[in-house]
Each structure stands twice: as structure tokens, then as C-alpha cells.
Amino acid sequence: MPHPKSRRAAARAIVAGTLAALAFATVTAGSAGAVINGDDAGERYPFMAAIPMSAPEAGLLDGSCGGSLIDRQWVLTAAHCVTGEGIELDGTVRIGSDRRTSGGTVRKIDRTFVHPGYANGGGTSFNTDDLALIRLDRPVAQRPVPIAKEAGRPGTPTRLLGFGTTVEGEFAFSERLQQLNTRLGAPSECAPGYAGPTRLCTISLKPHAMACHGDSGGPQLQKSRAGRWELVGVTSGPGAPNVPCSGGPGLYTSAPAYADWIKQTMKAGDDRGPANAAPPGPVGH
């Protein structure tokens, strides 16, 4: 039988790779996550979602992932937020609050749909097809964020939102929503092979700042031609291996690249109707 310390170390490695968080730190660091060196949200983001979760074997009892309301009854998040060994969802989503554990509208999870191509990188490489959709048990009044028709060119200003850790290497989730101004980078600004048509390399405009553990699944926003926020990326993981959150680029799943899958999955989910006894975990693909 493995020694208890070995089991705890293994659990932390699992969490670092699949937890509701970015794996910017090494897989054994066990850090949690809010935007490192971000600022309190300076405006209302009614589409921001917080997805409560925990990983008891790793000592995380009160964590969360981010998400984006893209339809009155649907939230887009990262696949590694809703599926993975050791992860437990509490079965609810909080919509439209700038506080992680209060305010906004709380809905139960009707079912989740994980992209069929999803593969976890384990904290040392990128996650593939890192997207999941959550169908809420009933619609909310908050206004969804539209998905951009396409990602901007390298250099396009973007903004990250999250409730993740503000302290590198600790389970210190933020109660207040954080934001960080960033830009889209060229694929060459991330590690070779990391960024591409479906994975956006993202660079902070502030030194020693980036999304971190607990921010996974949350939105990366860009401005439309009309000057309104639109969803361009979903927080996924590191843009380079073996760097701390604040020390490297971020990698974001391109929401526009998966627009067809998102649309088709929501239509199929709505056609199936409510799942009266659906568990909160990943029950559909």
C-alpha cells in the first residue's frame, strides 16, 4: 500500500494537471489560483460564471473554476474544470456576481458536455480541445456574452477575468473578481507547438502577472467593432512548460474556432430536454 504522503503527493499532481486552475506551476507545486497581480473588476460582467468545486484528497475544499454565460441557459468553461480524477463539483453555477461565493444568480447543473477530443496535458504540456458546456437547470436573466466571429491578430488587446489565486503556490482563491489586461500573442511567443489556430497565446501587459489556478474556464475578452466585449478565449493552461503563473504566457482555447461544436452541442442538449436526475459531473459528450 502506498505511504499516505505518497498518496497526497499523487493527488496534488492530479490536481495540478486537472484541477480548476491553470497548470503554470510545476505539476508538484500544488498551487491553487486567482489572477496573479490583477486588479479588482472595474465594471460589471453579467456573463461571468463561478463554478464551485473541490479536490479533498489534495486539501482543496473551497475552490472554483470560471466560465462564461453564452446563452441564457448555457455556460462555456474548460473541460478540465468538470472532468478529472479527484475533482468534485457541488452541482451549481453562480452567474453575474463580482463575488465568488455570494450575489448573482445560482442555478443547478442539469448536465455537462465535454468536447470528445479533450485530452489533459498533465501540467507539463497543453490541454487538447479543452472545452466543456454546462446546461443550467433553467435560464437566467443575465445577458450572455457573444462569441467573437474570429480571434484578433497578434497584438489585439484582451482582458482576462477570474476568481483564482492571487498568491503563487497557495490555495488562496480570491473572493473579489479580478481582471487583467493582456494581448493576443503570436504562436512563437509561446513554447513551440503550444499555440495555433485553436489555442491562443496570450501575453500580459503588466510584468509578473497572468491568470493562474482557479481561473481556468474563465473568459478572455476582446472588444468588437462596436466596442462591446465578446468572448475570444477560454482559460486553459500554460503557454510554456515549467514556469510559474506570473512568469510565462498563457494558453487559451479559441472560442471562435469551436463555434460549430458549441452551437451543435447546445442544440442537441436543448432537444433532449431536462435531465431530471442528472448528476453534476460530466454525463454527456
What is the number of domains present in the chain?
1
Q: Which three three-digit cell numbers place residue 52?
A: 464551485
Domain contains 31: no
Domain contains 34: no
| Residues of the domain holding 246 | 39-271
Domain contains 263: yes
Span 45-83, pLDDT tens digits: 999 999 999 888 877 788 899 999 999 999 999 999 999
| Contact between 81 and 217 (Cβ < 8 Å) | yes
- Cα angle 271, 129, 259 (rounded to 5 degrees) comes to 50
Burial of 99 (0-12, 13-18, 19+ CB in 10 A): middle
Average pLDDT over residues 264-274: 90
Domain contains 4: no
CATH number at residue 154: 2.40.10.10
pLDDT of residue 109 exceeding 90, the answer is yes
| Contact between 123 and 13 (Cβ < 8 Å) | yes
- pLDDT number for residue 169: 67
Nearest of 231, 30, 61, 24 to residue 144 by alpha carbon: 231
pLDDT of residue 278 exceeding 60, the answer is no
Domain contains 9: no
Span 143-181, pLDDT tens digits: 999 999 999 999 999 999 999 887 776 777 889 999 999
Domain contains 14: no
Span 2-11, pLDDT tens digits: 454 444 444 4
Q: Which three three-digit cell numbers place residue 237?
A: 493552461
pLDDT of residue 19 exceeding 70, the answer is no
pLDDT of residue 17 exceeding 60, the answer is no
Neighbours of 61 (CB within 10 A): 10
Average pLDDT over residues 103-113: 97
Domain contains 280: no
pTM to 2 decimal places = 0.85
**How far, in Å, are 18, 50, 116, 258 from residue 111 at the CA level?**
19, 16, 15, 19
